[in-house]
Amino acid sequence: MKLTFNKYFFSLAVLLFVTEVLIALCVTNNFVRSYFGDVLVVILIYCFVKSFMNLPVLPLAAAVLLFAFTIEFLQYLKIVEILGLQNSALARTVIGTSFAWLDLVSYAAGIVVVLVVENLLKKV
In this structure, is residue 107 part of a structural domain?
Answer: yes
**β partners of residue 3:** 53
Domain region containing 78: 7-123
In this structure, is residue 2 part of a structural domain?
Answer: no
Answer whether residue 107 shows pLDDT above 90: yes
Answer whether residue 34 shows pLDDT above 90: no
In this structure, is residue 13 part of a structural domain?
Answer: yes
Answer whether residue 97 shows pLDDT above 90: no
Question: CA-to-CA distance for 37 and 41, rounded, in angstroms?
Answer: 6
Number of domains the chain contains: 1
In this structure, is residue 93 part of a structural domain?
Answer: yes
Which residue type does 41 have? V
| Overall pTM > 0.85 | yes
In this structure, is residue 67 part of a structural domain?
Answer: yes
Using alpha carbons, select from 57, 36, 33 the residue that is nearest to residue 46: 57
Answer whether residue 18 shows pLDDT above 80: yes
